[in-house]
Amino acid sequence: MSTDEIVIEVGERHIREINRDMQKACAAGKKIRVVDTLSRHNLGIGLPPGADLHFEGSVGYYCGGLNTGSTITIERNAGWAVGEGMADGHITVGGYAGMSVGAAMIGGTIHVKGDTGPRCGVAMKGGNIVVEGKIGYQSGFMAHSGKIIALGGAGDSCADALWEGEVWVAGDVKSLGVDVIIEDPTAEEVAEVDAILEPLGLVDTSRNWRKMVSGQRLWYFESRDASAWLMI
């Protein structure tokens, strides 16, 4: 083991104790390798700027939540709400990520190499989510800002009730959500997306993008106009 690296074992230890060890290692400026993860929940919460963590195996719910600038790598799968409420930093998930990836995040980047579950980017306020696979049901629901970029298609009710967030999809979209319109992106907008994908090695100029934005009907709807917010 390198003297610049600290190994933290999860196992059956109390989560509070594990996260305290992570914070101490971050304060010491050490890289952190987390082993025997057992898909435990609430790992790596509220990590500080500049930290570098590598989770061997899979993690459970809320891993990397409230991240303020750490680089987090998860080798395999992640449970619900990876990166929830994060403000900055970079999270990579090597496999599948469950429901609500990046829920309410305000900054940073989450990169999922597999598929995601439903409501990816729900209520996000900023930042970027890049998914190499398919995003699940109702992804982008009420996204206020930021971009969700899916390279492998999208499930039902995609981008439902968007505000000022954007959902970019290459591949098939099973169905659109309420109050969504598809715009033809400008060359400048495509360049912005490519700038997000380029550090991840994912730029492909042959992609046929669907850029989904709000139709803005829900921004001003009358409460008695149920057709504005129900799928009828």
How do residues 142-158 score in pLDDT, each as one tens digit? 999 999 999 999 999 99
Residue 168's identity, in one-letter code, is W
pLDDT for 129 beyond 60: yes
Q: How far apart are CA 53 and CA 31, in angstroms?
A: 6
For residue 232, name the pLDDT band (cuts at 50, 70, 90). Answer: very low
Kindly report the pTM of this predicted structure: 0.94
Span 110-138, average pLDDT: 98
CA 128 to mean position of chain CA atoms: 7
For residue 225, name the pLDDT band (cuts at 50, 70, 90). Answer: low
pLDDT in tens, 155-184: 999 999 999 999 999 999 999 999 999 999
Averaged pLDDT score across all residues of the chain: 95
Confidence (pLDDT) at 218: 84
Residue ranges per domain, the chain?
5-228
Confidence (pLDDT) at 220: 77
Tell me the backbone φ, ψ of residue 59, rounded to 5 degrees. -125, 165
Q: Which CATH architecture has domain 5-228?
A: 3 Solenoid (2.160)
pLDDT for 229 beyond 80: no
**3-class SS string, 6-34:** EEEECCCCCHHHHHHHHHHHHHCCCEEEE
